[in-house]
Structure 1
């Protein structure tokens, strides 16, 4: 077999014929079956010499006879992956990564089968059609792409979603597709045969998850800080009676195989409802991801914050089996004896009867390194393995050993001698950077800790978590100074004022809250019409302005003294989601990095 070998700064990549990396024109008139439907491939949009996507490693492919475009790729994802799907027959696993690539793997041995290249931004979701012939993929772009699983060739693109297609799901009969995404809560239903939009809704808040009812006439939408919304797919309208309490914050939901029970998970519990929305029973323990056995006897829930998979008896809610291992998604294999999970880097296969992990395939690399002036490079964010590197020589300085779950955030102490990490195990850890020694473990949150920050004097820390709490810690003490509650959603950003007398928190709710750091009292609740999830927060050097970057593509400036909104700046060009920003000396300008990798 001929191999084209290419050396590049990141990896040694192999291009194997038949891997689907070279895109050829589709034969005219040839149809692609989808659950009884015949789909004619769209005309090829690429021209000779065009790259397969903006994320392809080969950006100016030399002409090859009989090939429109080609590229090379690494075997593993270049960075973490987020989307995962198990084929209906259990033979293939598809993953979608932050590198924009879709990879298809052999489930038995973890061997790479194909790489599908078309997404120009992150790919967050992948889904096999019920007959396993078509793969639907979605991500940061406002489109859903359909692929022939056998050939790896693109079939068509579903458009007019209006925002990111962060989660894609097929109807049970394979005739329709739902995509959800965007901070405003867009959901779109397409007819697959015609590629036409059938219905669209905007719920005003981010949708975390969608679950089709087995009959295919409605879907459950898990919405940030809301009960489960039921979307009637015949009328295209949201049912007037949601499922769950008004201030619920469900992460996901799943219908039982007979459609008579809906399970919905939060950071602390799983609740089972009957079809009318009446609660049947509540089970303590996080429901980060849910999966029913085919016979409906068992409900399986992932508790990421405790690093466990809990298998419950659906009829009684009693624990049937506890399996060590944190996973962000769950799927039963057709034999129902195994479960598929993942940790953004590895494919994980668990055996239910033995309660053990039986296979693990590493399919993704680490995220990019983090660099701060005068400090070592930090790698391993979104893994449990944080390492420090010499930025001049590239030499490994030390690894921080002791994290029991994925690290979601870290922060350097002002003097650079300590590093605080926060993670999915609901803990904050403080490390001595010169030795890598674990100095202190801070316990107080009840769910994922997503943000952490040091006070200016290095004596205190603040942390924000998905439990909607902000905690102020005194270094050297295991007990919180203050636990600040009242935030409407998960806290993902925290920031001290320059003098460390105040602090601000933001997240999935549509407000920011400013507290007095000494008393723990709320000073201001900041809001603005159209305000969406915050991506980052900071104070001006003089402390006279509080600045937030939001998912609606705007930067807002408030006075922390009066709580008054001072200015709103629209950021034009590219995809409207601000990720990070910096304030140069003098407080005169802002430098912003957007979610589409632009400044």
Structure 2
């Protein structure tokens, strides 16, 4: 571990913002029977010069990548009010009036903490938002942009990005000094932590932990900073001499210190670990108490009388710090926690929602649905598309209008897979309830309920004739069905693991799961034709149109074209990326081209004969599904941020994006026009020299004389 400090960086601090896993900050102050509001002097941050040129996008992650120029506007985009994808970070403002959220889509959203109403979006990061923290004076919001390697400072009132602080590697955690003059930014595989003077944007100190930093927390008296890292004991640093003051415990291979939180008097440190929450005497380094049960985050109440702890989706627990007895388990789970400064509310974040718990009333306030529906619509070349994975109901949408057409109800557990027959009218749905259901999607009628699996069904694949269906299950079997009669015609039960991948060309079926082996069956004879060994677990499979070869994608960066007749690998298509997993594959109709999708937010169009990439496009989120248009002029890419993006296969440019919302699926073109059935959950974000404003569609049209043109919205050709 190495450390340096500029001599000008010695400071005394009077309050705290503690770093918790997932991004929220729990404010702390001197222990008192009744917490009083802190007095923090406002900090002036000089904005850096703006370099955004008119007509360029606000971020590479925006929906409008080619914004037409508008007088007195530098750039603009259209955004959804709710996050596109899961939440990673949240932070409650010091006055508990506003809540900031960030996550997969890279857009920060500000909410009214009391009502849960959306207020504005802050656009600028080019990658995930991994962490958020309000400054102690409540005027500035700091954000960590993960792989864009920046921490940004935002004037929330004006929406302006005041400063972008460059980091040598991804940014994982941020924490304010209690006086609000310094920002600690941590990240990178080497665990580099930089101390920034935010008033002038100058680096004042540096620590290199040599490993991944999971949390950082300033003590309320400003004298110490605590770090938790992978494979390392919790480290407490002296901020005057900048030395390691204490090492709490010992590094253990079986123990992970997820996050640290200081008591308001700076005398104790609560460290949430996978083996319990440990309470340390920060001065002596003695372990005072261990609270049972794995935890990932902890937060002290401002009066120091209560410690809240949480672990993933399990109930949040509150503990009496006088005797360390459990007070109660709240009927809600959380991945991150933060107290209001006055102790009146506790913020609970999950991967999709934020809820404020009213401490006096002992009840939850209305939950903020910050990330929208759990799944995206699955586009087809027919008239309808469907969504519903992760829920118990299939939603059928009209592609032309984005309007909800039907709801298909009947499953009693979450839906795990959806698959269209070749006619784009018959739909199959699989569920954790162990059944497969076959629907007439246009009429909304259940045609058949297929029963026989003894565990949840994970994957589906239709035969080309549209009458036979294959299902793969966690019961380690594949079943073939006659969907006209509803009867199972064959069962292949010699798969060694759950069957989670499958493709059927009508004669041969290829299947895989969490292993290095892919099974190929002759579906006429029921015999295993070949067991193909691949490097690492298979993530995607696709038969070539002529049925001669299989494309496989795995956890490495390669696509392998394999011959099931002899097991030979004909070609290997490699493209480095992080993470390298190839999660989706599809051949063009004649087999001349293959498209691949990856977990690293990209999709490729390949020539399998030359192993060359024609286009490598940014998809903004991990890829789940790929589909060619009938003309092959468009590639549809379904991603984990509830979007389907449509790329021109000749140029590689984005045409448009479909976003699945609760009651419609609006389409937005890359040049800023949208089509929706009714007033959508969309806003315009407009960057000028003096502000970044969030406007409703009518307000944007009126202020900038902009005319939206739904007739120009064409997602595919």
TM bucket (normalised to shorter chain) is 0.5 to 0.7
Alignment match of 2:539 (pick from 530, 537, 540)? 537
Structure 1 contact 231–238 (Cα < 8 Å) conserved:
yes
> Aligned-pair distance for 1:354?
4.5
Matched, 1:419 2:430: yes
Match of 1:64 in 2: 71
Where 1:582 maps in the other structure, the secondary structure is: strand
Match of 2:272 in 1: 264
Q: Which has the larger radius of gyration?
A: 2
The 3 A distance-change label for structure 1 pair 210 and 577 is farther
Provide the C-alpha distance between the structure 2 equivalents of 1:244 and 1:64, rounded to a whole number of angstroms: 59
Structure 2 counterparts to residues 290-305 of structure 1, below 5 A = 290-305=298-313
Match of 2:120 in 1: 114
Match of 2:585 in 1: 582
Alignment match of 1:93 (pick from 96, 99, 115)? 99
The 3 A distance-change label for structure 1 pair 62 and 302 is same
Match of 1:189 in 2: 194
Instruction: State the Cα deviation string for residues 174-215 of structure 1 (Å, max 9, x = none).
Output: 233333456x3644323133534432536455x544444444
Provide the C-alpha distance between the structure 1 equivalents of 2:63 and 2:381, rounded to a whole number of angstroms: 33
> Aligned-pair distance for 1:341?
2.0
Structure 1 contact 287–302 (Cα < 8 Å) conserved:
yes
Provide the C-alpha distance between the structure 2 equivalents of 1:579 and 1:526, rounded to a whole number of angstroms: 12
Instruction: State the Cα deviation string for residues 237-269 of structure 1 (Å, max 9, x = none).
Output: 898776563222454443333342323143x74
Provide the C-alpha distance between the structure 2 equivalents of 1:590 and 1:124, rounded to a whole number of angstroms: 30
Provide the C-alpha distance between the structure 2 equivalents of 1:124 and 1:204, rounded to a whole number of angstroms: 17
Provide the C-alpha distance between the structure 2 equivalents of 1:578 and 1:108, rounded to a whole number of angstroms: 41
Matched, 1:365 2:400: no
Matched, 1:592 2:610: no
Match of 2:235 in 1: 230
The 3 A distance-change label for structure 1 pair 567 and 355 is farther
Match of 1:148 in 2: 155
> Aligned-pair distance for 1:136?
0.8
Match of 1:397 in 2: 407
Provide the C-alpha distance between the structure 2 equivalents of 1:80 and 1:209, rounded to a whole number of angstroms: 20
Matched, 1:201 2:201: no
Provide the C-alpha distance between the structure 2 equivalents of 1:438 and 1:124, rounded to a whole number of angstroms: 43
Match of 1:27 in 2: none
Structure 2 counterparts to residues 345-364 of structure 1, below 5 A = 345-364=352-371
Where 2:184 maps in the other structure, the secondary structure is: strand
The 3 A distance-change label for structure 1 pair 185 and 255 is farther
TM-score (norm 1): 0.65
> Aligned-pair distance for 1:44?
1.1
Alignment match of 2:576 (pick from 571, 577, 581)? 571
Matched, 1:327 2:337: no
> Aligned-pair distance for 1:135?
0.7
Provide the C-alpha distance between the structure 2 equivalents of 1:312 and 1:115, rounded to a whole number of angstroms: 36
* Pairwise CA RMSD: 5.3
Provide the C-alpha distance between the structure 2 equivalents of 1:442 and 1:315, rounded to a whole number of angstroms: 50
TM-score (norm 2): 0.55
Q: Which runs of 5+ in 2 are unaligned?
A: 1-39, 422-426, 440-445, 463-468, 480-493, 520-532, 603-617, 620-651, 653-717
Structure 1 contact 540–587 (Cα < 8 Å) conserved:
no
Provide the C-alpha distance between the structure 1 equivalents of 2:180 and 2:255, rounded to a whole number of angstroms: 31
Provide the C-alpha distance between the structure 1 equivalents of 2:197 and 2:450, rounded to a whole number of angstroms: 54
Match of 2:181 in 1: 175
> Aligned-pair distance for 1:127?
1.2
Provide the C-alpha distance between the structure 1 equivalents of 2:294 and 2:438, rounded to a whole number of angstroms: 33
Instruction: State the Cα deviation string for residues 270-315 of structure 1 (Å, max 9, x = none).
Output: 4444446655444344524322212222221234444x22212234
Q: Which runs of 5+ in 1 are unaligned?
A: 1-33, 422-427, 445-450, 463-470, 476-480, 485-492, 506-512, 517-523, 528-533
Where 2:329 maps in the other structure, the secondary structure is: strand
Where 1:340 maps in the other structure, the secondary structure is: strand
Provide the C-alpha distance between the structure 1 equivalents of 2:208 and 2:495, rounded to a whole number of angstroms: 40
> Aligned-pair distance for 1:482?
13
> Aligned-pair distance for 1:45?
0.9
